[in-house]
Structure 1
Amino acid sequence: MLEGIFVEGLIYAIMALGVFFTFRILDFPDLTVDGSFPLGAVIMATSLTAGQNPLFGLLLAFGGGVLAGFVTAAIHNRLKVPHLLAGILTMTMLYSVNIRILDNRANLPLLRVDTVLTHVTAAAGNLIPADWAALIFFIAVVLAIKLALDLFFHTDMGLVFGALGNNEQMVRVQGVNPATLKLIGVGLSNGLVALSGAFAAQYQGFADVNLGQGIVVSGLASVMLGEFIIKSNRIGLLTLRVILGAILFKAIMYLGRFYGYYINMTPNDLKLIAGILIIASLAVTNYRRIRGKGGTAA
């Protein structure tokens, strides 16, 4: 049970890191996530059932997510469509794209198909249980992604991304095209989200076009919960708290799913809980900001 919570939390932490990139770094509210998450899942499932190597499937899923992000950024840049509407348009179109990839089916099971996790379990042999082998694998994957992001944000381009989210005009003055940065940033963000969807499909044993419903809310909740755990402006701690927030969010959802019946709560109420968590996080953040200003003024 405990290892399952951590595994799911780590899988969704990859998605939350993508959401963190657009919402916190780029200041680009992006709803493409609800479409790119199942996109990664259906690409992965189709690739596996076609007999392709799982690593190749992961690369395809990541590439598909990057292309989805490119479409959103291009709609925003070229047509001057607001962030949210551009994301909604891409998300809506991706629903049909995902069904097409699944050959006009809504879902695809991965029974008797070799996945990354079956290879990990086989490699572990009888040394450790399968659940713990999966946990160790995802810890390694998430840490690798986190370290790659930390290194990226310390490069010149990474620093420019941070500046873009704070002051786009300043980036223009420096001779950098914000449209190009948004194209790259939103693409990378959705690539991570699709990669998370690919891992989720393998862990759950199926891909479904509806896997992305409410994913952006889960990502936001993870980001905001992490902000309560660690307060810092250092990028290494910022990415760490996103990961911890995703695990905490999954733990809260688990408690609501398995113990909520004591208060007549059903699985249908989980999205309500996620929304309340975000609202509470925003309220506490505003309270802290007001309190901080009052303290400074005093």
Structure 2
Amino acid sequence: MLQIILGAVSLGLLWAIMTIGVYITYRILDIADLTVEGTLAMGAAIAAQAITSGMNPYAATALALVGGLLAGLTTGILHTQLKIPALLSGILTMIALYSINLRIMGKANISLLRTETVYSWLQNLGLSDTNAVIVLGLIFVMVIVCFLYWFFGTELGSAIRATGNNPKMVRAQGINTDIMKIIGLVLSNGLVAISGALIAQSQSFADVQMGTGSIVIGLASVIIGEVLFGKKNFFSRLVSLVLGAITYRIIIALVLKMGMPANDLKLFTAITVAIALSLPVFKTYLNPVKISIKEGK
């Protein structure tokens, strides 16, 4: 059981980076960005192809980051400059990325068995594969959380947050909301691509289909993190996202251990997200008297 939980924690840390990327668009910018389904696979594809071509795994991961940034930029331009709705812009980029990812890999999947990865130096120190992923995952997550906490406290970061909250007020202050949205989308997809690169190296393969359903997994982790671990301030929100991603992976590991078919995982995740997003409505039905008093009825 301990090994199952450790495996879930290791995977949760890597998916936490993707969850933070989803949070930036979904919560901060108030955009449902489906680009991430293509970007996750793109990060994995770039890293895998670069590593098998002899590139240093850290340089390959950085290259995956660049690919993710460009994917986010594409969605941002489609939405802000060509005035295509945000949801449709993400779908268009996601569809395009499927073909691009196949071009990058040259085939549907690439094996990374017996190749050097970002975890190799920890494994060479004697750590098991799972512990190596946990250690490096923690390092990446801590660096990203600290960077984002600093970044969103700057004038530029505050303008991005304000754009999601009240774009009319931001425009009244002379800030270009289109640029803020593009930066947010670029940053979000860059993080998702890093997550994809790290996941591919931990599972020793990249697959063109590995991003399918990732937006739902990201939303589930966001909701679980907010519900269970709160959202008192911005730093605690970032930490709650990490804990939410880990908790989600532990839940999945436990339900699989209890005998749930693996084919039902996406259905289970969709139901979990639907219930979590519907909680405010359920609370309204459960507390009609209290709400009526607040409204003065």
TM-score by length of 2: 0.94
Q: Secondary structure of 1:114's match?
A: coil
Q: Secondary structure of 2:209's match?
A: coil
For residues 52-74 of structure 1, what are the alpha-carbon distances to aligned partners after superposition, in whole Å with 9 as ceiling and x for unaligned? 11111111101100100000110
Which residue, 4, 26, 29 being the options, matches 2:29?
26
Q: Secondary structure of 1:79's match?
A: coil
Q: Distance in 2 between matches of 1:106 and 1:33?
A: 18
Q: Is the 8 A contact 2:231 2:240 kept in 1?
A: no
Aligned residue in 2 for 1:196: 195
Aligned residue in 1 for 2:159: 160
Unaligned runs of 5+ in 1: none
Alignment of 1:1-298 (within 5 A): 1=3, 2-103=5-106, 105-122=107-124, 125-126=125-126, 128-259=127-258, 261=259, 265-288=260-283, 291=287, 293-294=291-292, 296-297=294-295
- Give the count of matched residue pairs: 290
Q: Secondary structure of 1:112's match?
A: coil
**CA deviation after TM superposition for structure 1 residue 258, in Å:** 2.5
Q: Is the 8 A contact 1:121 1:134 kept in 2?
A: no
Q: Secondary structure of 1:270's match?
A: helix
Q: Distance in 1 between matches of 2:292 and 2:69?
A: 43
Q: Distance in 2 between matches of 1:49 and 1:89?
A: 29
**CA deviation after TM superposition for structure 1 residue 236, in Å:** 0.4
Give the letter for the 1:106 counterpart.
A
TM-score by length of 1: 0.93
Q: Secondary structure of 1:172's match?
A: helix
Q: Distance in 1 between matches of 2:164 and 2:134?
A: 34
**CA deviation after TM superposition for structure 1 residue 129, in Å:** 3.6
Q: Distance in 2 between matches of 1:288 and 1:161?
A: 31
**CA deviation after TM superposition for structure 1 residue 31, in Å:** 0.2
For residues 131-173 of structure 1, what are the alpha-carbon distances to aligned partners after superposition, in whole Å with 9 as ceiling and x for unaligned? 2232122112111111111111111111111111111111111
Q: CA RMSD in A?
A: 1.6
For residues 17-40 of structure 1, what are the alpha-carbon distances to aligned partners after superposition, in whole Å with 9 as ceiling and x for unaligned? 000000000111100000000000
Residues 289 and 147 of structure 1: CA distance in aligned 2, closer, same or farther (over 3 Å): farther
Q: Secondary structure of 2:114's match?
A: coil
**CA deviation after TM superposition for structure 1 residue 253, in Å:** 1.3
> Identity over aligned residues, as a percent?
41
For residues 204-247 of structure 1, what are the alpha-carbon distances to aligned partners after superposition, in whole Å with 9 as ceiling and x for unaligned? 10000000000000000000011111222410011111111101
Q: Distance in 1 between matches of 2:128 and 2:155?
A: 43
For residues 60-116 of structure 1, what are the alpha-carbon distances to aligned partners after superposition, in whole Å with 9 as ceiling and x for unaligned? 10110010000011011122111110000000000000000012x000000211000
Q: Distance in 2 between matches of 1:79 and 1:173?
A: 22
Indicate the larger mover: 288-297 or 238-247: 288-297
Q: Distance in 2 between matches of 1:288 and 1:153?
A: 32
Q: Distance in 2 between matches of 1:138 and 1:295?
A: 48
**CA deviation after TM superposition for structure 1 residue 296, in Å:** 4.2
Q: Is the 8 A contact 2:72 2:186 kept in 1?
A: yes
Q: Distance in 2 between matches of 1:8 and 1:295?
A: 46
